[in-house]
Amino acid sequence: MRMKSAAEFPKDQLPKFDSLQQQAFLELWKTYDCLKAEEEIVFGEFDISSQQYNALRLLKVVAPTPLAVSALGQRMITRAPDMTRMLDRLEQRDLIARVRRDDNRRVVEVTITAAGSKLLQQIAKPIWACHQRQFGHLSEEQLTQLINLLRATRKPEDEPQ
């Protein structure tokens, strides 16, 4: 986590109003929150959280190969420090299966079940429609631009492809 001291930004460079940077953050927050709320309505109809959906999605990608809990955790978008209990809930609903690996009994491997795949499939269309509603009015060019800017925000080194 790179840290620059605040002193690197001397007072006379401080904008009088909230900085453009803060504005960008607030817009990002607001926008994310709007879209997430709409998504959650869709997910809610299937009694699932976006976190859970994300986990299932990742498991589906590699299926039928299992994924260790830690590997799954690392690939999640939002860092989840509580994989265990999230997987508990999915397991109780028989959407995933857990197996302790034999050649290394510390790791627990997770796979998506048929029921889990089916649920994903059911969600796929409404969630796709949701994203269409949210971004459908933007041109392809605007979308790639947005995506590139978001990437550039996260990764200072690699600018637009």
Binding site for a copy of itself (CB under 8 A): 1-6, 8-9, 14, 19-39, 41, 77-79, 125-129, 131-138, 140, 142-147, 149-154, 156
Which of a copy of itself, DNA, none does residue 142 bind to, with CB < 5 to 8 Å depending on kind? a copy of itself
What distance in Å separates the CA atoms of residue 57 and residue 116, rounded to the nearest whole number? 9
Tell me how far, at minimum, the Cβ of 144 lies from DNA, in Å.
30
Quick check: bond before 126 cis, omega within 30? Answer: no
Tell me how far, at minimum, the Cβ of 24 lies from a copy of itself, in Å.
5
Which of DNA, a copy of itself, none does residue 23 bind to, with CB < 5 to 8 Å depending on kind? a copy of itself
Tell me how far, at minimum, the Cβ of 10 lies from a copy of itself, in Å.
12
Question: What's the one-letter identity of residue 77?
Answer: I
Which of a copy of itself, DNA, none does residue 147 bind to, with CB < 5 to 8 Å depending on kind? a copy of itself
The nearer residue to DNA, 38 or 109, going by C-beta atoms, is 109
In terms of C-beta density within 10 A (0-12 exposed, 13-18 middle, 19 or more buried), how is residue 110 classed? buried
Tokens of 8: 């690197």
Angle between helices 114-135 and 20-44 (to 10 degrees): 130
Angle between helices 20-44 and 50-62 (to 10 degrees): 80
The nearer residue to a copy of itself, 76 or 107, going by C-beta atoms, is 76
Tokens of 15: 């904008």
Positions touching DNA (CB under 7 A) are 44, 49, 51, 68-70, 73, 80-87, 89, 98, 103-109
